[in-house]
Structure 1
């Protein structure tokens, strides 16, 4: 895709979800913010919401990593909040600290790459961003964000067909009905239209499967019944810090219940989903290990569901 004037290709994939009382959703969305690309799409938040008071959240996370500079998940969450408040250079620095601490985490590297892309006002694909995406793919060839930006790199280089091939492969690995499917299809359709490439037949013929096996009703991406009116009103009346404590308490309570009933496979999946939502990737990986240890016969399913959530080690 050629650049025109001051426009440039932007890409965003967010992995995770927004937690609010009893409502947790997981997904990622793809958008390209430029005049000749698909319009931006709404995205879910993979960390505690920064919408209410982002500066307060930033201060809390700064204090957290200040007290423990080796807290990789704290650096990741700080990077996410910086990113969501358009402080991309600071986001990149935070994500880089996370990669320094846990160099084997593909999500950290692809997040770093995305932040570096957004931080650079001149180069649509800075060399250090490309290296970060390459590191992510070397660790996890299925990392959706890195795969998406691999397509962006091809597109920037004039290989529009190659870019679409990458995105079609990503779509093929997307579970049917996943939250991000619609946005990825829209990206393919509009890039094809811009470059006069017919994509309709390929879209119609593509067969989507889960990363490890076809899960007819994956818990990882399933909708969860929303909170009651009373719960919503109670949560809304709490200060932001207390809301976060409520959310954390609910997740910790779920983990405690699973220790008493480790055979609840759906519960383990929900715990992994919640941990990833909060940016606690290490705890999510730990939950996967515990779930498999308690339910060895369900290992294949657990790993498949965990892969939908990008749990490390899935």
Structure 2
């Protein structure tokens, strides 16, 4: 999967846009970790490990966390590794374990919302996924990923004014003149245009 987002068939345009905004926001601010972003690897001159080695590394991490379940960052790394391997059910369980220890972790709430949508084959963030985004906003009202995703949810639900308001809050936190600023501005303008 691309670091910029899932294949286009996975999500409708508005939600894909929100996820892309969230990804770009993460790159600019360094906050969070996203569904379609692989865990950062340490720089190395050696060739990347083969797939079986990656599976073995993930299993070792899972085994360690079984013995040390209080390692919140370990659960975050494990969840992201499962996402990279497209093991959505395992990623959901890892995020739930993380959230048992840190229930107001806005990054994990957004990431769990996205993984649940993929696991359940949903083309929109609805039900529990939408509720998780709202919990993320309650935990951090200025969380870029949560605002971007909430805007996508609002647009898909036929509430373009709310989507524009939420995306404006993202725009207000982004450096003017950057590509991210231009992309968000274009999204806000497009949300205000009548549907064809």
TM-score (norm 2): 0.69
Distance in 1 (CA, whole Å) between partners of 2:63 and 2:123 is 33
User: Which residue pairs with 2:76 in the alignment?
Assistant: 76
Distance in 1 (CA, whole Å) between partners of 2:38 and 2:90 is 18
- Give the superposition deviation at 1:85: 2.9
SS in 2 for 1:96: helix
8 Å contact 1:26–1:44 — kept in the other structure? no
Q: Greater Rg, structure 1 or structure 2?
A: 1
User: Which residue pairs with 2:120 in the alignment?
Assistant: 120
- Give the superposition deviation at 1:79: 1.1
CA spacing shift, 1:7–1:75, aligned 2, 3 Å: closer
8 Å contact 2:163–2:191 — kept in the other structure? no
- Give the superposition deviation at 1:188: 3.7
Which protein is richer in helix relative to its size?
Answer: 2
CA spacing shift, 1:159–1:88, aligned 2, 3 Å: same
Range moving further from structure 2, 180-189 or 170-179: 180-189
8 Å contact 1:16–1:46 — kept in the other structure? no
Distance in 2 (CA, whole Å) between partners of 1:27 and 1:193 is 31
Distance in 2 (CA, whole Å) between partners of 1:132 and 1:69 is 23
- Give the superposition deviation at 1:123: 5.5
**Which structure 1 segments of 5+ residues have no match?**
18-24, 31-42, 197-314
8 Å contact 1:79–1:90 — kept in the other structure? yes
**Which structure 2 segments of 5+ residues have no match?**
1-8, 43-47
8 Å contact 2:65–2:74 — kept in the other structure? yes
Matched, 1:60 2:67: no
Cα deviation digits, residues 136-174 of structure 1 (max 9, x gap)? 111111111111111122112111232122112211112
User: Which residue pairs with 1:163 in the alignment?
Assistant: 163
User: Which residue pairs with 1:99 in the alignment?
Assistant: 99
8 Å contact 1:154–1:163 — kept in the other structure? yes
Matched, 1:111 2:111: yes
Distance in 1 (CA, whole Å) between partners of 2:194 and 2:62 is 43
Distance in 2 (CA, whole Å) between partners of 1:68 and 1:77 is 14
Distance in 1 (CA, whole Å) between partners of 2:67 and 2:143 is 31
**Number of residues paired by the alignment?**
172
8 Å contact 1:75–1:97 — kept in the other structure? yes
Over the aligned positions, Cα root-mean-square deviation in angstroms equals 3.4
Aligned ranges 1:7-26 → 2 under 5 Å: 8=12, 9-10=15-16, 11-12=18-19, 13-14=22-23, 26=30
